[in-house]
Chains A and B, each alone.
Chain A
């Protein structure tokens, strides 16, 4: 069964008048055959059947009018073809209403325009305004019915009938769902408000897992992190990464491809470990004065100029190197190259890579400048904005795992250096001073040495100098 509806024959048409039925009730009609002649506000038009079958019922007789979309006839072939498929208008809402339409044609309870059909004015006299008045009435009736139906804006179905997103909304969605850009080292996505709140609450964004689209860290993520926050007492913390749990492999083996950077690091470290004969010298340093000095220093300067213990170590190492050119040297194909400049590499561990930005001429810089510059270097390295220059020219390196509560460890020399100093945590422990046991702050450092470049005694003496400087730290601020 298919219902024939009053078609829209012009832009301004509101109702149409049936001039002539070209088929009689009970007559067979073929899809595409002329079925009815309708008068719109602009012209008389023959309208074709949209379905084949028997014209089972003429709902609107000749001479009468009906608004657009109203059922004017029924075509039935005995089978039950869904009305909505065959009719040109109202696909949006027809499905549910179709059986009712068939049962009681011409009265479609839910359709906005329908009441107008019941009240459709009879053809009027030939006054010139007649047509106008009729159209007006139809508009008013449509409006009224539309309003009664809850302010329905499209009596004949429109964008609001859609339950799926349309072309209109898709463009907005494409922006929101755009996948995170592939960048080397994966830049962390942080929303502006999250960044601001993190700063306000002192939340370390590197420790926050993003829950937003594309893994973006959102306001809620930072607020949750701020609530849980327990500020750990980091000994010296230019680099501290929280452990990001890695997903367990689902298969027996998961293959992890290396980034270009990781490949380079692997190659160079293997080369260093297997070609440079390493030996190690460890020493424990009393850090009480250095810790106190740092406190006093930081109380005296702006927060932005605060120094870390690592900065003190950098300065101490740099000053010690001025007295030990044999340490500030490289193995170069059977010869030793001693360097004029003292450039300290600072190892920064990130979850997926190891990088060593270089602080140049560290011996000539004040603590304040060392602090400032290393902060900038590390930040650039982290955010992947470092230039190649930032990684070049190291003559000696430092690796610090103190903030991870490591007592001591040995590091692999970072080529072309011939030494690297591995820094452990500062521990509060009982120490003997003037025959008394007193609390003290102790830090263990381990020097790795390329035995081809310098030897045990030099290594021990160099370490003694570093120790002297850190235990009498006033020398570092001069």
Chain B
């Protein structure tokens, strides 16, 4: 067990899988010579050579298209999109091709593809570089979508994603690459379809994934000081969406907050809330509270940006309000 930053845990997963399986290769913008925009692929070109770590042109549709072709031909590509905002030009490849091919060929071919890409904002990078779009992909049958929030899960889920025979959207976050945590050595695998309670509590349930998991955990720590015991459920598995731990938790706490970095409307929280209304309506003590980004393109202005993205204060105040303690 070593303490690693998220970027190094991801790096370890890539290295281990590339060593284990020769068919695994990486492609993306600046991932080789430059070691990746966020240094996730650091040293891998040096170690595995230019055939297995491909620096591509700035052409997202071609990156994904190439990866799909390679996957259909028996390789296991891991494509990097510099940020999830840039994948828009490749949506046809992701949805119409990657997600549907296995179905349209009656299972005759498969697409074992991983697309790694970070979402998230808060760094004053403006509206075209700051959004979180995991819900767009989680809407599509044929894709798996995961968004880990700890280095251990990042490693374990990336390894599982690479071994999965389906296209997996592996959502990272620009704000978590430096976050450190204990990471099991060696063949540490985490299932792509299991969410889990990261912190046990009694009074209120908080669902969050990716960087918002950290925000939720911080908020829970603060709330504890006020005598509010919050249970935090990590929603790292977004599609298929594992609701079991949420339902179980809501049956205990009767109150739920969902937190996501993307917009509320049609968001991850909307889906979670619907499922809870379907499966645990009679256990609710209050409407499900959804926290997400303000419904505007992410502002560049620092002060505006600061209030546009969810922070722990939002979670804390919402928790108090749900419990009638405000």
Chain A interface residues (CB < 8 Å from chain B): 8, 11-12, 88-89, 91-92, 129, 132, 136, 139-140, 142-144, 146-147, 151-154, 156-173, 175-177, 191-196, 211-213, 216, 218-219
Contact = CB atoms under 8 A, between A and B. Distances in A.
A218 B122 contact: no
A162 B122 contact: no
Contact of B311 (A8, A162, A172): A162
A191 B284 contact: yes
Given A164-B313, A168-B308, A213-B286, A176 B321 contact: yes
Closest 10 CB pairs of A and B: A169-B314, A159-B311, A166-B307, A143-B178, A167-B294, A168-B310, A153-B175, A158-B122, A196-B282, A172-B289
B293 interface: yes
* Centre residue among A129, A153, A169, A175 by max chain B CB count within 10 A: A169
B286 A212 contact: yes
Interface string B121-133: 0111110010000
Interface in B265-293: 281-287, 289-293
A211 B324 CA distance: 8
Nearest to A166: B307
Interface in B283-324: 283-287, 289-295, 302-303, 305-315, 317-318, 321-322, 324
B64 interface: no
Contacts of A216: 286
B254 interface: yes
Contacts of B294: 166-168, 171
A441 to B, nearest CB: 40
B66 to A, nearest CB: 25
A29 B210 CA distance: 46
Given A159-B122, A212-B324, A175 B287 contact: yes
A153 B306 contact: no
Given A176-B321, A196-B282, A89 B302 contact: yes
B257 interface: yes
Interface stretch (B155-163, B186-194, B211-219, B238-246): B211-219
B7 interface: yes
Contacts of A164: 313
B35 interface: yes
Given A172-B318, A173-B318, A219-B254, A166 B282 contact: no
B321 A173 contact: yes
B5 interface: yes
Nearest to A169: B314
A160 B215 contact: yes
Contact of A168 (B39, B211, B286, B311): B311
Contacts, number: 174
A199 to B, nearest CB: 9
A192 B283 contact: yes
Given A159-B311, A213-B321, A172 B290 contact: yes
Nearest to B269: A172
B310 A147 contact: no
Given A92-B306, A169-B314, A177-B321, A154 B281 contact: no
A256 B202 CA distance: 43
B257 to A, nearest CB: 7
A179 B300 CA distance: 34
A217 to B, nearest CB: 9
Contact of A159 (B126, B283, B285, B309): B309
16 contacts: A132-B34, A139-B39, A143-B39, A144-B5, A153-B211, A159-B122, A159-B309, A166-B309, A168-B293, A171-B290, A172-B264, A172-B289, A172-B314, A175-B287, A176-B321, A213-B321
Nearest to A210: B324
Contacts of B218: 160
Contacts of B281: 192
A76 to B, nearest CB: 25
* Centre residue among A89, A158, A212, A216 by max chain B CB count within 10 A: A158
A169 B291 contact: yes
B179 interface: yes
B51 to A, nearest CB: 21
B254 A191 contact: yes
Contact of B313 (A11, A139, A166, A196): A166
Contacts of B177: 143
Nearest to B308: A167
A63 B293 CA distance: 41
Contacts of A173: 289, 317-318, 321
A151 B179 contact: yes
Nearest to B42: A136
Contacts of B285: 191-194, 212, 218-219
B284 A176 contact: no
A193 B322 CA distance: 14
A216 B295 CA distance: 29
A136 B321 contact: no
Contacts of B283: 192-193, 196
Given A169-B317, A213-B286, 4 more contacts: A91-B302, A139-B39, A151-B180, A173-B321
B117 interface: no
A252 B165 CA distance: 78
B205 interface: no
Contacts of A162: 306-307, 311, 313
B176 interface: yes
A168 B292 contact: yes
A140 B39 contact: yes
Nearest to A90: B302
* Centre residue among A8, A152, A170, A171 by max chain B CB count within 10 A: A171
A91 B306 CA distance: 11
Contacts of A157: 302, 306
A163 B274 CA distance: 30
Contacts of A167: 294, 307-308
Contacts of A172: 257, 264, 289-291, 314, 318
B108 to A, nearest CB: 43
Contact of A193 (B126, B211, B282, B290): B282
A405 to B, nearest CB: 35
A218 B324 contact: yes
